[in-house]
Amino acid sequence: MTKLALSDEILMKIDKPARYIGNELNSVKKNKNEVAVRFVMCFPDVYEIGMSHLGIQILYDMFNKRQDVWCERVYSPWPDLHAIMKEQNIPLFALESQEPIKDMDFLGITIQYEMCYTNILQILDLSQIPLLAAERGEDVPIVIGGGPCTYNPEPIADFFDIFYLGEGEISYDALLDLYKKMRAEGRSRAEFLREASKIPGMYVPSLYETTYHEDGTIANFAPIAEDISATVTKQLVLDMTEAVYPEKPVVPFIKATQDRVVLEIQRGCIRGCRFCQAGMVYRPVREKDVERLKTLAVQMLKSTGHEEISLSSLSSSDYSRLEELVEFLIEECRKKHVNISLPSLRIDAFSLDVMSKVQDVKKSSLTFAPEAGSQRLRDVINKGLTEEIILNGAQMAFAGGWNKVKFYFMLGLPTETEEDMQAIAELANETAARYYDTVPKEKRNGKCQITISTSFFVPKPFTPFQWARMYPPEDYIGRAKVVNDTVKEQLNRKSIKYNWHEADVTVLEGVLARGDRKVGQAILKVYEKGGIFDAWSEFFDYQRWLDAFSECGIDPDFYTMRERSLDEIFPWDFIDTGVSKEFLKREWNNAMAQTVTPNCRMRCAGCGVRKFGGGVCYEN
């Protein structure tokens, strides 16, 4: 039995000690003396959230299939344990071996959302690894970052040795092989990083430098040597069917956010919503073969004992063999008494038929994401949903026995007017009216419940809206107030519930999403002032961030409030995602003209990802 890193006394004192003891079903134990490379995979948030992340499960499985590598896991200690570890000088440890992370070869951190940036520093600090890459010596793990936030890595560039851009299945083997070879030759950390930067998808921040214009915008971003590439190209899996996938995922000891088998059916999205970063950077759509999915579903349910299976994709309805897959799963899950969860479905007759078979209609609610209340604004964002589609979907659902509907919208989108804000409440009212028109009184299961939630729009890199400006927090709250007031004026207001997002978090997310390297000083300052778990509202302190910006001489408005010119150099322009800047500009102009761009299966929009040589671009 592995000796635990934390004493019984500490484990008895802290919340949910099972987060820290390892030994879960399907976790991998190896003899450390028989492997050449030790790699720790980190999700910089609490265990329950990190254990729900598919990307880490895929890489954990892939790395551990190698005889010469042992991949372990670590998550952010909750503040109660954080305090004890600092006080008693206990180094952060990997779950599998319970050994310190500072003794490993690599620490790989997946970066899923901007609000976890201070937790990255928490992980480094508790691991007793110097926070700044420039201060790390030869015997310190190589710190590597991956995940969606690396599409603008600059705000956190000073804390990482390497960023991996794109999908991890492609270039990691080459990196691990290079590390083994160079270590055997006794080469230095700096020499390894230099060679690593030549592997496709690897970005080594220390090998690039930025110069600025007087107004603070970027004048030039370039490598410091001729043998380093000026652009870094994202890596992507072209054959999803043959790609590695965990048949025995690790099963958490305590209830995770998503306690279920996750079946990834495809990557990418054909829709082209202009606000959506995932829809742009994960292009082109690549499907997994339906027979492989059936086999995986059976194996994963058997190896985990989970009682639910969920399909993972940006838009499940666009999977070409969905009907066949779902019918198979319904049959399989009925035999095993397993629930099926089907997120990201369009609400149409087929989906409702399927959902009525797999859900308890009386309890569950249907989710629509129109994102904008008016048709005009939906055309601006290229949502491709008409009011008729939304209302007809709701009407079919009501006729089928549902009486709960959730709507997701964004406020603060480019060109938004007061009419667009009011239209959110009006659409909710129309939907409720359809319920009372469709369902006779004697068949109603109480009144219908329409829940509308609004978040505030954040312009993200590599989207057509990356040029858009943001607004001060009080402006966003004013927009939410317009919606709230309009809800109160509706005939069916008693059937409508309205929730909105925090505005100050949104503005900060905008700074971190579009910032340059200067922003890193403020992140460091916030961590030094005690900031961790900023994604959790109970720990988030906006004033602490404002103070840090002020002390570092950074004006957050520079990153959020100004209109960008179409020829400005962005901090992320050195990354090649395949989607060209010309296409993004064209889409920005289409948005301003309220012109809709058809989806990839209807017509190729010439975005540029065809150059990768696969996926939806080559279907016909």
List pLDDT tens digits, range 368-409.
Answer: 999 999 999 999 999 989 999 999 999 999 999 999 999 999
Helix H or strand E encompassing 370 = strand 366-371
Q: What is the pLDDT of residue 259?
A: 86
Share of the chain above pLDDT 70, in %: 100
Name the pLDDT band for 620 (thresholds 50, 70, 90): confident
Q: Tell which wins on pLDDT, 342 or 127.
A: 127
- Model confidence at 22: pLDDT above 90: yes
CB 512 within 8 A of CB 114: yes
Q: Tell which wins on pLDDT, 56 or 359.
A: 56
- For residue 52, what is the DSSP state? T
CB 35 within 8 A of CB 97: no
The model's pLDDT over 258-286, given as tens digits with 9 standing for 90+, comes to 889 999 999 999 999 999 999 999 999 99
Q: What is the pLDDT of residue 344?
A: 84
- For residue 381, what is the DSSP state? T
Count CB atoms within 10 A of the CB of residue 484.
Answer: 16
Q: In what order do the strands lie in the sheet with 496-500?
A: 366-371, 404-411, 449-456, 496-500
Question: Dihedral, CA atoms, 25, 110, 78, 132, nearest 10 degrees?
Answer: 140
SS3 283: coil
Paired sense of beta strands 449-456 and 208-212, if any:
unpaired
Query: Structure tokens of 356?
Result: 């009525």
**Buried b vs exposed e over 531-548: b needs ≥16 C-beta within 10 Å?**
bbbbbeeeebeeebbeeb
The residue type of 284 is: P
- Model confidence at 362: pLDDT above 80: no
- Model confidence at 1: pLDDT above 80: no
